[in-house]
Every structure is written in C-alpha cells, then in structure tokens.
Amino acid sequence: MTEPAICTRPRWLSIVGIGEDGVEGLSSVALQLIRSAELVVGGARHLELASELIRGRRLAWPSPISDAFPEIERHRGRAVAILASGDPFHFGVGKQIAAFVQADEFICLPQPSAFSLAAARMGWPLQDVSLVTLHGRALNGIIRHLQPGARVLALSWDNATPRKLSELLTTHRMGKSRMTVLEAMGGARERIRHATASNFDIEEIQPLNTIAIEMVAELEAIIIPLAPGLDDDFFEHDGQLTKREVRAVTLSSLQPLQGQLLWDIGLGAGSVAIEWLLRHPSLRAIGIEARSDRAGRAARNAAALGVPELEIVQGRAPEALAGLARPDAVFIGGGMMDDGVFDAAWSALKLGGRLVANAVSLETEARLAGYFQHFGGDLVRLQVARADRVGAMSGWRPAMPVTQWRVRKP
C-alpha cells in the first residue's frame, strides 16, 4: 500500500541566534544556512560577527526594524537568513517575524539567551528570577518587580541604563540592593562587575550589558503589594478616585484573564486600570478621560507604579470609544449618566466579556437598577466605615455607599 504524500512548505527563512563568540559558537547547520542565504538581515554588530560567512546581500536593520519586513517578504521562497542575539524568541525579533511568516516556513536555531548566560554566571536558578527587558522600554517598567528579596535580570537599553537603574532603586529606598553588570557575555570582551545601588561606581560600561539585581528593601521602601487594593496614598488624585476597598472588589468583579483588554471609562486617577495592568504583564488597558488634567494625572500615576503602557484616550464617551480595540472587560467609573455610554460599551464588549459599573449618586444607582432588571447580573451595595476620632473617643465614620453592578455579556 502506497503511503500518502505529505506536502510541506519549504523553510526558506532561517533565524539564527548568534552570540559574542561569533561564528565559532555556531553549528555546522547554522554556518551553511548563512552561507547559502541570498539575503542576510541583522544588526550591524551581527553582520560583522558573521562577515566571513555572508555571500548574499546584507541588510542592516533600519529604524524601526519593521521597515525591513516588506523586503524580507519579497524574498519569500528564496533563502533568507536573519541574525539575532542569543535566543530570537526570548525578547527578540522572533515574535515580530512570526507575525507575518508561518512557523512551518522558517527554522530557528537559538543560542543561549542573555538571561541564560547571566543566570549561569550568577548561579541563579532561572525559574526563580524575574526577567525584564528595558531595551526600547521605559525604565520605570521595572518598578512592579521591586520586591524584597527578589532577584531580577534586566536587559539594558544602553550603557547608561545601569546607572539610571541604580538611581531608581535608591529613590525607592532600595539603595542597599546589590547590582551586577554583565557585559558582552560569551565573548572575549566579557566583564562582570558589582556595586550597590546607592554607591554605584561602575564606569565605562559597554552598551551590550545585562543587569542582575538582588533586592534589599529598607523599612521605608516603596513597594507595590502583589494583592489588589493599593493604599490610596499610592495615587496622585483630586478626590476622583475609586477607594481602596471598593477598588479591590472592583478588580475581583472585572476578573482579569491573561492577555485581555480593559476599557476604563471615566479614568479619573487611573487606579482601576493601573491595578488591572499590575495583575499580569500580558494585560492591556485603555483609559478614556474627558478632562486633560485628570488624563495627565493618570499618566503620572501609571509611570510611578510601573505600568507606563497604559493607553490614555482624552475625550468624552461615547464619541471617544469609536475605533478602539474591542474590550474583554469594561469598567464605567464615570459617565454612566451620559447618553449612549452604556450602549456603546455594551455593543463593543466581546461575547463573554464583563462589565462593571459603580454608582454613588441616587440617580446613577437608579439607572444601574434598571440595567440590572433588563440584563441581569449582580447588584451589590458596598459600605465601608473607618474608625475616627469623636471628641475624646473613637467611632465609626461611614463613607458614602457604593452600588456596583456587574454583568457578563452572553
């Protein structure tokens, strides 16, 4: 009996990881893939490391590197090699390439990543370490990882990153943290040096470096807790703030899941969107805020709390919602009384998505009660009281009750 023929696509694209040891660290297969390529794409440093092998045309990554993608696609079906640092699919170019080239069209030959090399040099189990890239990212994105006793490996943007990071750690009262700068790992120029954050004296750092940090927190250290419901003092605000206890319940009701997008309508100080983003690095959030002063305040809060990726749209809902990516969850903290806001949010919400709205006024509460009667879900009254001085004694001072409606779109 004849076996059926199996047709597979030719793997015309090679993604080759290359380290500081250059061609000496490449396998015989990687050597041949580079030699036979009609087009070789990579950073100027990568092209120089593999210079002796390259016979085809060279293309150094432009800025942005996506400008080179059409040229790569024009060579579809012909031999193309892309050179990348270490492991191309660990904070590398592999993710962007896989967005327009199917996995069965390319072969990837990775080398040890900078994280793997740094962990080996430090003697740290990689699974116990927080891995962060600051390459092309805002420095304050590392803030969420500043936990007592944590070990962090961070890819630098340039030779100035280690000193800037030491200043950030010192500002957050973690100046005793031990920093190790690992430069050009795996090559002849490899160098490893140590310093504390508050006494950072490492000079003439090579642009290609990775930073290892052992966190030491002082008693007054600024640490972002891992649980939802941050103290209100973490946020700059003008009173337009979902308070801590209600915010914790709101995050529970929104039920963030990996990779999902939140719309925060009536962003205010940004506290709900920020805490949504803090739950997992894959989460995304768009905040819609009509007032420019509040939009700016929310942006400052997001940066200070380590989620500079919060996207802020200044404008009034529902008009400002037009054209935005469809959300998996919606929080309406303001604007529920504006005509069309709920209808636009509900229409855009994906099937199975969650909508949560909080109300303080009787008028907004009445509107939520109407939606509850029509759409179902849960209607909850939240009441918080705090102990306060009452003359020479203490008593309970209640905050205004909050009515919360939460519903899942069927």
Superfamily of domain 232-408 in the CATH hierarchy: Vaccinia Virus protein VP39 (3.40.50.150)
Strands 209-214 and 178-183: antiparallel
At residue 216, φ and ψ (nearest 5 deg) are -125, 115
Q: Is the pLDDT of residue 112 over 60?
A: yes
The sheet with strand 191-196 has its strands ordered as 130-133, 151-155, 209-214, 178-183, 191-196
Domain boundaries, the chain: 13-111, 115-214, 232-408
Cβ neighbours around 171 below 10 Å, total? 11
The pTM (predicted TM-score) of the whole model is 0.89
Quote the pLDDT of residue 347. Answer: 97
Q: Is the pLDDT of residue 2 over 80?
A: no
CA dist list (Å): 42 to 69, 82, 118, 240: 12, 6, 23, 49
Q: What burial letters (b/e) apply to 65-100, b meaning 16+ CB within 10 Å?
A: eeebbeebeebeeebbbbbbbbbbbbbbbbeebbee
Share above pLDDT 70 across residues of the chain, in percent, rounded to a whole number = 98
Q: What is the pLDDT of residues 37-86, one digit of tens each?
A: 999 999 999 999 999 999 999 999 999 999 999 999 999 999 999 999 99
Quote the pLDDT of residue 7. Answer: 47
Residue bearing tokens 């420095």: 139
For the chain, first and last CA: distance in Å?
51
Q: What is the CATH topology of the domain spanning 13-111? A: Cobalt-precorrin-4 Transmethylase; domain 1 (3.40.1010)
Quote the pLDDT of residue 1. Answer: 52
pLDDT, average across residues 269-285:
97
Q: What is the pLDDT of residues 338-358, one digit of tens each?
A: 889 999 999 999 999 999 999
Q: What is the pLDDT of residues 194-252, one digit of tens each?
A: 999 999 999 999 999 999 999 999 999 999 999 999 999 999 999 889 999 999 999 99
pLDDT, average across residues 98-116:
95
Distance CA 312, CA 270 (A): 9
Q: Is the pLDDT of residue 155 over 60?
A: yes
Q: Return the CATH number of the domain spanning residue range 115-214.
A: 3.30.950.10
CA dist list (Å): 79 to 87, 160, 202: 21, 38, 44
Q: What is the pLDDT of residues 169-180, one digit of tens each?
A: 999 999 999 999
Q: Is the pLDDT of residue 292 over 70?
A: yes
Q: Is the pLDDT of residue 288 over 60?
A: yes
Inter-residue contact 269 to 241 (CB < 8 Å):
yes
Q: Which of 234, 251, 232, 256 is nearest to 243 (CA)?
A: 232
Inter-residue contact 165 to 143 (CB < 8 Å):
no
For 214, the enclosing helix (H) or strand (E) is strand 209-214
The pLDDT-based confidence of 4 (bands split at 50, 70, 90) is low
